[in-house]
Amino acid sequence: MDFEPWWLISVPVLFALGWIAARVDIRQMLSETRNLPDSYFKGLNFILNEEPDRAIDAFVEVAKLDPETTELHFALGNLFRRRGEMERAIRVHQSLLARADLPQEEREHAQHELGQDFLKAGMLDRAEQAFQQVLDTRFAVPAVRALIRIYESEHDWPRAIEAVKRLRALVDEPVPQLVHYQCEQAQAALSAKPPDLVAANAALDAADNAAHALRGQARGHASEARIAMLRAAVARHDNNRERERVYLESVLGTAPEYAGLVAEPLLESYRSMGQANQGLQVLTRHYMRYPALDTFNVIFRELRAQNGYAPAWEFARDALRAHPTLLGLDRLLEVELASGNTPPGPNMAPDADLGLLRSLIHKHTQRLDRYACGVCGFEARHFYWQCPGCNSWETYQPRRIEELA
């Protein structure tokens, strides 16, 4: 390979250019560092020393001295919100929005953060206004999700449904709670004075369509059970007991775990048609396949009413042997004590002893006689489709705590 003399010249030239560039970068860094307020370095030092409160105060001072630091404002606002200092978070984001020179993207960001502040502070009307202002921006999806939460908490089901439709237009994903929004509308129509059966049926038709769109996914039977129960309620208001029975009985097949919620109205439907014994047989057969405490209670009481205490106690003994529960024993003792009769048999305890036994058992069963949310653990004596604690849908199992242990 031939030697080129110009190589000897290019090497020192390149070296000199690199040295000059490095000097310029160092000078620029030193200049920028000198321009930073002392509070900035104090804040960093407090963070390193694990003193977050003093670090926040230092960074607040930086934000006051240099209003151009928008990223620091956003960081401080989010930090205040996480710490529950909602007034300070709101003030930080409002100060950003008050700047006339704030770029449009940063303004949209500040508006969305302000909506989050209002939402966490419980100022739902102001949160709604803030989120509506960013519906046509890059924050549209989280804003619509937040609006759905707001309308849920306000039980404004028509607006919640509209918000879900808007979300479905933005992202291709299922929204399972839509079924329950429609069911809530149907429930409201049935609770009106007088009941609006036309509106209830229309809402349930929409719920059926929403549930159909969810089929094939890994979900439970809660929505199907609820729709059938509401259809039965509509039929009952319409004095169509046969149709009511059909809907309630369908729950036993499509959602057998929810039998305890429909056992009493199903038996009442049979009873209204003069077929109480047939209804009792249907529930008993179902209980043998899917034993549940609430179904046990209904069967025991109906056996006691139809056939007397001997068959009822025989059923109770067999059921409690197969599936022993303190709650089951507590319930049957309650029925017997209320009836004023003691169970058959020469070795059975008198009423006074049964009362003492029941009072002892009842103290232990009170904490077990509840439903529990599978997400937050919130316990309640009544079954809820939406948890009152965490607002999650379909998180309550239709079984008492003792049965889930």
- Reference 294, options 267, 313, 275; nearest CA is 267
Pick out the chain residues at pLDDT < 50: 1, 3, 6, 8, 13, 17, 19-20, 22-37, 39-44, 46-48, 63, 65, 218, 344-347, 349
Question: 165-183, pLDDT tens digit by residue?
Answer: 999 889 988 888 999 999 9
Give the predicted TM-score (pTM) of the model: 0.76
pLDDT at 65: 46
Give the list of residues 6+ apart from residue 313 with CB closer than 8 angstroms, or none: 332, 343, 344
- The verdict on whether omega for the bond into residue 195 sits within 30 degrees of 0, i.e. cis, is no
- Alpha-carbon span 110 to 324, nearest angstrom: 59
- Alpha-carbon span 365 to 381, nearest angstrom: 12
Counting Cα atoms < 13 Å in the Cβ hemisphere of 8 gives: 3
Q: Summarize the annotated binding site for Fe cation as residue ranges.
A: 373, 376, 387, 390
**Apex CA 368: angle with CA 269 and CA 332, to 5°?**
50
- Alpha-carbon span 72 to 79, nearest angstrom: 10
Q: Summarize the annotated binding site as residue ranges.
A: 373, 376, 387, 390
Yes or no: domain 67-97+104-171 corresponds to CATH 3.40.50.2000: no
pLDDT at 103: 86
Q: How far apart are the first and last CA of the chain?
A: 85
- Alpha-carbon span 32 to 24, nearest angstrom: 12
